[in-house]
Amino acid sequence: MDSMRDLILFGDCRKTLCGFLPKSARMCVTSPPYYGLRDYGGEEKQIGQEQTPEQYVEEMVKVFREVRNILTDDGTLWLNIGDSYYNYRPGKAYVKQTVSKTNQDLPEHSPKRGTKLEGYKEKDLIGIPWMLAFALRADGWYLRQDIIWHKPNPMPESVRDRCTKSHEYIFLLSKNKKYYYDHEAIKEKAVGERWGGNTPINMGNTKDTDNQFSGLTRERKMVYDKRNKRSVWKVNCKPYRGAHFAVYPPELIEPCILAGSEKGDIVLDPFMGSGTTAMVAKSLGRDYIGCELHEDYGNLIQKRVDEYHPVTEVTQSPILDAFL
């Protein structure tokens, strides 16, 4: 069992996930490739480059079906996913979108290149996050919550017919009806004024002028309690200059790992990328397992883990090639 900790298998996760032991990970937190966004190189049939949104969702359901097998019975999935718009403009050129190191362009079949899709109109918001969430629920997952990742510093958009998009979703799904969730570990500060209550600070007696009964007063007090974490998380985007194009900030997944696992547990990420999940997991006393399409990111992942968590306190990660 110990040999299956701090382990990354390289290759397409649809093939490599079967290399992990069933019921070995307490939770999964991940951000898969978004639909039709960019080419990560190395594979002809990459996730995210399907011809239709429905095909993309179908492939993602297959991936998370394997993930469900790896999770313990009380395990959870924390899924960060963004949306995209349908742009059908045949004959018009599009800006190339590439991933650092791979230098790959979008495939010709990408919807960004002008493929006609039935049922979609130009400028339609596709609705990928909820399409995927409902499909996962239909496949057996319990859809427990939608969390809004509010980005105070979103990517600028040159649009004038809608608001600038400044949020993404994190879906909390569970393998079973009862699952591990430590709400105490992620409670947030609740600072504000309220009437009454048990509070350490007395702001003085204030006449309750709204009360129809004259002469009654209530204490107005400042409250410094902790409250259950709310479902809108304000986290700045923080690009990582190491190599990878799409990196979610450590502050975004830290509460996911704290609520979904205990120290010593294994955290799974089938789309490891630059290793943010591994880095945060080790910093919180957890171990990690995962998959990554590109072996080139192996050294980057190890470097980030070592920088965030000193080598003297962490076992060197056995990063292996995919054997399938």
| The pLDDT value given to residue 254 | 97
The parts of the chain modelled with pLDDT lower than 70 are 1-3, 37-44, 88-115, 192-224, 239-246, 308-324
32 and 177 share a domain? yes
Which structural domain range is residue 63 located in?
2-186+230-321
| The pLDDT value given to residue 220 | 56
CA 270 to chain centre: 12
CA angle 266/271/277 to nearest 5° reads: 45
Indicate the residue among 171, 206, 226 that finishes a domain.
226
| The pLDDT value given to residue 90 | 60
- Residue 273, CA distances (Å) to 130, 169, 240, 292 in order: 23, 19, 11, 6
205 and 57 share a domain? no
User: Maximum CA pair distance of the chain?
Assistant: 80
If one counts the domains in the chain, the total is 2
| The pLDDT value given to residue 117 | 83
Strands laid side by side in the 167-174 sheet: 232-234, 142-150, 167-174, 71-81, 25-30, 266-269, 287-292, 7-10, 319-321
Indicate the residue among 175, 197, 226 that finishes a domain.
226
| The pLDDT value given to residue 116 | 79
Q: Give the 3-state DSSP-derived string for 245-276, with helices as H, strands as E and coil as C.
A: CCCCCHHHHHHHHHHHCCCCCEEEECCCCCCH
110 and 40 share a domain? yes
193 phi-psi bin (left φ>0, alpha ψ -120 to 50, beta other): beta
Q: Which amino acid is at 217?
A: T
- Residue 104, CA distances (Å) to 43, 96, 234 in order: 11, 9, 32
Predicted TM-score (pTM) of this structure: 0.79
212 and 63 share a domain? no
170 and 75 share a domain? yes
211 and 76 share a domain? no
Q: Report helix, strand or coil for 100.
A: coil
66 and 152 share a domain? yes
Indicate the residue among 208, 226, 244 that finishes a domain.
226
| The pLDDT value given to residue 157 | 86
Q: Tokens representing 223?
A: 């409250």
72 and 157 share a domain? yes
| The pLDDT value given to residue 281 | 96
